[in-house]
Amino acid sequence: MAVNLPLSIWTVTDGRVGIENQALGLAEAIQRLTPAEITTKRLRFQRLFDRWPNALRFWPRAMLADASDRIEAPFPDIAIANGRASLPFSTRLKHWSGGRTYVVQLQDPRTDLSAFDLVIPPLHDGVIGPNVFSILGSPNRITSERLEQEAAPFRTQLAELARPRIAVLIGGRSKAYDMSAATAERLADQVAQAVETSGGSLLLTFSRRTPGAARAALMARLDGVPGLIWDGEGPNPYFAFLEAADHILVTADSVNMAAEAAATGKPVQILALDGDGGKFDALHAALQSRGATRPFSGTLESWTYAPLTETDRAAREVLARMRA
C-alpha cells in the first residue's frame, strides 16, 4: 500500500483509559518509526442504543451521541481500534474508506477476522489466523521519555521518599479474579512487612475495579507505612510511580499493568488474588519465562532483564504488512 507522509492514524475506542492507552501506545510506537499524525476518536452511543449488542448496530454512525467523535471522511491511513464498542466501526472502515484505511484491531474481536487487515491480540488469548500477530501482554505507552515527563510534577514529592521505593499497583475484580477483604488484608500485611523490612517507601495506586471493602482493608493497614497512597483524588501519579520505583508489585488481574510494569525493566512481582486465573496463567507463565516477573510471597527480590518491547515489535509489523 503506497501512502504519503506523514501518515494519518486514528485511535478508535470508547475512551476508557485502559482501552484507549493500548491503541495510543501502538499509534505512538508507529509515530516513533515514521512521521505520523495521531487523532483520537472516542465513541459514545445514544442512550437508546448504548446497551444494544453489536450484532444489532446495523447503522452505527447514525447511533452515535452528539458528544461522540464522528467516523467519517477523510479517512486515515491507519485505524487502530480497541474494545467492543469499536467493532461496529472497525468492521466497516475498510468499506467506508474505499480500501484506503489499513484497519488494525487490538485484543480478540471474537468476530470474523477477515474484516481487519491485522489483528493484534495478547498471546494468551490463543487467536490464530493469517492476519493475526500476537504479542506478550498488551500494547502500552511506556517509554523512558514518557515516564520522565509524567514524573516531573511529582519529582520533589517523590525525591523525599527513602529507597527502595516499592510501587504497588492494585487492580481488583474481573471475570477471572476477585479481591476479598481477607485477601486484601493478607496482601497489605505482606506489603507492609516488605516495606518496613527494606527501610524503603510505599507507592500505592488503586483501580476503579478495586472493591470497596478491599480498598478499605488496604488503607487501614498501610495508612501508617512511609510513602504515598493515591486515593483517586487529584492528578494520577501512576506513571510517576513506575518511574520512581525500584520494585513493582502488581495484582494478577491486569494484563495492562503487568505489561506496563515489565516494560520498565524493573523487578516485577505478581500479587495473587482470589479466583481461577484461566488463560491469565499462561500470561504470567510467559512473563516469568521472559524473566520479567516472579511471584510475590512477602519478600522483595532484585534481578535484571531486558524490558518488554512488544509494542515496538507490533508497530514494526503494522508498517511492514501495510507496505508489503
**Number of independent structural domains in the chain:** 2
| Domain presence at residue 281 | yes
The alpha-helical segments, DSSP class H, found in 140-271 are: 144-151, 155-159, 181-198, 212-222, 238-244, 255-262
When pLDDT is averaged across residues 14-32 and rounded to a whole number, the result is 96
**Same structural domain, 60 and 191:** no
Summarize pLDDT for 184-226 with one digit per residue, the tens: 999 999 999 999 999 999 999 998 889 999 999 999 999 999 9
| Domain presence at residue 251 | yes
For residue 292, is pLDDT > 80? Answer: yes
Residue 280's pLDDT is what? 87
Report how far residue 52's alpha carbon sits from residue 49's, in angstroms, rounded to the nearest whole number.
Answer: 5
- Quick one: pLDDT band at residue 180, thresholds 50, 70, 90? very high
**Same structural domain, 152 and 53:** no
**Same structural domain, 121 and 62:** yes
Q: What is the grid cell recorded at 223?
A: 495508612
| Domain presence at residue 227 | yes
Residue 56's pLDDT is what? 85
Taking CA atoms, 209 is separated from 88, 155, 170, 192, 268, in Å, by 26, 28, 9, 22, 21
Q: Are strands 247-251 and 227-230 parallel, antiparallel or unpaired?
A: unpaired
Residue 231's pLDDT is what? 81
Q: What is the grid cell recorded at 34?
A: 515514521
For residue 2, is pLDDT > 70? Answer: no
Residue whose C-alpha cell is 507505612: 225
Angle at 22 between CA 149 and CA 283, to 5 degrees: 110
The mean pLDDT value of the chain amounts to 94
Q: What is the grid cell recorded at 77?
A: 491511513
**Same structural domain, 26 and 88:** yes
Taking CA atoms, 52 is separated from 48, 72, 85, 87, in Å, by 8, 22, 10, 13
**Same structural domain, 68 and 177:** no
| Domain presence at residue 1 | no
When pLDDT is averaged across residues 251-269 and rounded to a whole number, the result is 95
Residue 232's pLDDT is what? 81
**Same structural domain, 77 and 118:** yes
When pLDDT is averaged across residues 233-244 and rounded to a whole number, the result is 93
**Residue 54 domain boundaries:** 7-136+311-323
Summarize pLDDT for 70-86 with one digit per residue, the tens: 999 999 999 999 999 99
**Same structural domain, 152 and 283:** yes
What is the domain-level CATH number for residue 87? 3.40.50
Residue 151's pLDDT is what? 94
Residue 66's pLDDT is what? 95
For residue 130, is pLDDT > 70? Answer: yes
What is the domain-level CATH number for residue 228? 3.40.50.2000
**Same structural domain, 15 and 74:** yes
